[in-house]
Homo-oligomer: A and B are copies of this chain.
Amino acid sequence: MAPATTTKRTLSTAEARRETVLEAAMGVFCERGYLGTPTKDVAEAAGISQAYLFRLFPTKSDLVVAVAQRANDRIREAFVKAAAQAKAAGEDPGEAMGRVYGDLLEDRTLLLNLIHQFAAAASMPEVAEASRASFAELVALVEQETGRDAESLQRFFAHGMLMNTMAAIGAPGRDERWAQLLTGC
């Protein structure tokens, strides 16, 4: 790893390692999910030993929750940025947020982490709590930025969840009629 270029200790090295690990974990978890992926794979992808992984995240559950929160954070940040840019350009923030969500789903890693998160929520209360907190923030954000009514907001998020599912099962790109119908914008 490259050492910090300059400065004094603004960020601990362990903290930076944790960032590396979370990034690598998202990439590894997205294939077989949280329960299906061994911690050894995460450690290898992050370029550290399994022993050190367990010092950075005391249990696998801790790691999973952190990964889920990171995925949620990434979505929220993208929404905030898209809304700000749209407002500055005098465009519709709602449309910009919908478009940016579609762009996010192009990143298969993020998308799969999302659906693994929802699946894991069934047996991990902390993950479920993180998911709910994320939806709370996202709904508030979209409502505030767009001023849409309840039905319109529900449609916005429903469309997002459909796109999630379609991407997960590999529907986009298929030329069957049903796939084009459900994935079409």
Which residues of chain A have a CB within 8 Å of any CB of chain B? 30-33, 35-36, 112, 115-116, 118-123, 128, 131-132, 135-136, 139-140, 150, 153-155, 157-159, 161-162, 164-165, 168-171, 174, 176-179, 181-182, 184
How far is B154's CA from A155's CA once the two chains are assembled, in angstroms?
11
Chain B residues whose C-beta falls within 8 Å of the C-beta of A170 in the assembled complex: 121, 128, 132
State whether A122 touches B33 (Cβ < 8 A).
Answer: yes
* Contact among B154, B179, B182 with A182 in the assembled complex (CB-CB below 8 Å): B154
Give, as a whole number of angstroms, the nearest-CB distance from A28 to chain B.
12
State whether A118 touches B176 (Cβ < 8 A).
Answer: no
Give, as a whole number of angstroms, the nearest-CB distance from A182 to chain B.
6
Chain B residues whose C-beta falls within 8 Å of the C-beta of A135 in the assembled complex: 169, 171, 178-179, 182
How far is B119's CA from A112's CA once the two chains are assembled, in angstroms?
7
How far is B139's CA from A171's CA once the two chains are assembled, in angstroms?
13
**Chain A interface helix/strand/loop/mixed:** helix
Give, as a whole number of angstroms, the nearest-CB distance from A108 to chain B.
9
State whether A157 touches B182 (Cβ < 8 A).
Answer: yes
How far is B165's CA from A118's CA once the two chains are assembled, in angstroms?
7
State whether A178 touches B139 (Cβ < 8 A).
Answer: yes
State whether B119 touches A115 (Cβ < 8 A).
Answer: yes
How far is B168's CA from A116's CA once the two chains are assembled, in angstroms?
11
State whether A119 touches B116 (Cβ < 8 A).
Answer: yes
Give, as a whole number of angstroms, the nearest-CB distance from A169 to chain B.
4
State whether A121 touches B168 (Cβ < 8 A).
Answer: yes
